[in-house]
Amino acid sequence: MKLAEWARHNGVRPQTAYRWFRQGTLPVSARRLPSGTTVVDVADDVPQGQVVAYARVSSAGQRTDLDRQVGRVTAWATGQDMLVSRGN
C-alpha cells in the first residue's frame, strides 16, 4: 500500500507520514521502491486502526440518552467494518 494511502486510511496527513518515514519513526514497516514510491508493508488480515465512538449530552439528567447515542454510533461504526476502541 502506498504511504499516502496508508496515512489517509489511518487519519494521518500524508506529509506527516512521509516525515515519520524519513525520521525513522513511522509505526509500521515501510520501504522505498527504486521508482521512488514509498510503500507500507501491511498484512491483509491485520486491522488498520481503530475508531473511537464519541457522544455527549448537555446534562446528567440525560444519561440514558447518552447510553442510547453511544450504542447507535457504535452500531453504525461496526456496521461499516470499523474496529471500535473501548475508551476509559
Banded model confidence at residue 48, pLDDT cuts 50, 70, 90: low
Give the number of other Cβ atoms within 10 Å of residue 3's Cβ: 22
Indicate if the pLDDT at residue 47 is higher than 70.
Answer: no
Residues labelled as active-site residues? 58
User: Across-strand partners of 3?
Assistant: none
In whole numbers, what is the pLDDT of the chain averaged over residues? 82
Cα–Cα distance measured from residue 11 to residue 44, given in angstroms and rounded to the nearest whole number: 19
Read off the pTM.
0.50
